[in-house]
Structure 1
Amino acid sequence: MSSTSRLDPRIQRTRAAIVTAFQELLSERGLRPLTIQDIAEQAGVNRVTFYAHYRDKYDLFGQLIHAHLDATLTEQVRRPLHLDATGLRDLLTALCVFMTQVYDQCHVHDDEMEVHIERQVHEQVTVWVHEALSLRQQQPNSRVISRDMVTTMIVSGLYTAASGWGRRASGPVLDRYVAEAMVFLAGGLAASGFGAPDRRPPP
């Protein structure tokens, strides 16, 4: 049983009202101009009640983005991630789908939203990629490059490509877009030397 399901029904209803109000206002106005008073009034609660559940609007936004991204990755990408061409393509495709949904749901975008979305994506995807790299051996005679550096470059490339797809009003279909981005992402992974078979722990 999850912690959410153990919550008092009144608390669940209050949080649901706050989340719904926040999502409606976010779609209409973007993140920057929203105040706690705006959210509380829309939800039918007072500011004290809001602060009983969330530190501020950024905490609420971050939790929503985290949950949405986690659900998308869990549904579309096998874990532990196979950091080969197929696994990398699956991860990028899932991120493109996620970014499209975020941009579709939030009709007004601002710099503050971008910063918090990027932070959440980097934090969560870094865990997936670093975990996958820990199961790989760097090929002999490769140039010395740390797993941390490889993780940073791959995650940055994934986010840049997925964010670019999310902003597109038109263009190639997703499969073609991902195939084009994979030329650089898979090439960078191969150049790092982390292309040996997975070091999978025994069952």
Structure 2
Amino acid sequence: MVNQEDPRVLRTRELIRTAFRDLLQRKGFDAITIKDIAQEATINRATFYAHFEDKYALLDEVTEQAFHERIPEQVVNAQEFTDDICEQLIIMTHQYIVDFYRICRIDSNPMAKLVDDKIKKLLQQTIENIFLRGEDRYRADVHHIKMMAAMTGSAIYGAAHYWLNAGEKSGTGVLTDIARPYVMNGLGREIFRR
């Protein structure tokens, strides 16, 4: 068992993640092998497998790490889901999707689905945490809050993903002007009341 707190382990994991990100830009996910990652990270295959089950587990971790690095501190600490928080999440989600699809050469449907599902899940968890910290948490049960977070996350993700695929060049200001009112109107305060 690898000690996850050992500085050598942390350095090795970072080498692996960096190598993987670099390879994603050059080769695309389907073409990358564990041997490629190990060579790029200057480790052996056994070391890779000591840290990750396979390249899918590595993709999952890289996706999550990149998502958490992008969340603005104001969103992380939000006590309420406001217009400003909603706008920040829309912009962050859009930029995250742009980076993954354009920079990382998502060249396979299975990879795209894995990344999309992971982003949706992380977005939902972020929104759920804000809802649970908010003043309305006593008016709704946890399942209700989880459902609202899922719907809100899906709306934000769907709008950001559509904007990318439609090739919109108008910028995220137009995207937020369209999506934010839709999301916020759907979250009217009466939704949390029973």
User: For this structure pair, what is the TM-score category when the shorter chain's length is used for normalisation?
Assistant: 0.7 to 0.9
Instruction: Tell me, yes or no, if the aligned pair for 2:125 and 2:149 is still in contact at 8 Å.
Output: no
Q: Normalising by structure 1, what TM-score?
A: 0.76
Aligned equivalents of 1:76 and 1:131: distance in 2?
A: 13
The alignment status of 1:51 with 2:49, answered yes or no, reads yes
The alignment status of 1:173 with 2:164, answered yes or no, reads no
Q: Which has the higher helix share?
A: 2
Q: Give the letter aligned to residue 114 of structure 2.
A: H
Q: Normalising by structure 2, what TM-score?
A: 0.79
Matched with 2:154 is: 156
Cα deviation, residue 183, structure 1: 3.1
Report matched runs for 1:1-203 at 5 Å: 6-8=6-8, 11-75=9-73, 77-134=75-132, 135-137=134-136, 146-167=144-165, 169-190=167-188, 193-194=191-192
Task: Quote the sequence identity (%).
Answer: 24
Aligned equivalents of 1:13 and 1:152: distance in 2?
A: 35
CA-to-aligned-CA distance 1:74-119 (integer Å, 9 cap, x gap): 4463523521322212211221222222223213432122222223
User: Secondary structure, in 3 states, of the residue corresponding to 1:193?
Assistant: helix
Which protein shows a greater Rg? 1
Instruction: Tell me, yes or no, if the aligned pair for 1:95 and 1:159 is still in contact at 8 Å.
Output: yes
Gaps of 5+ in 2: none
Q: Give the letter aligned to residue 170 of structure 2.
A: P
Equivalences, count: 186
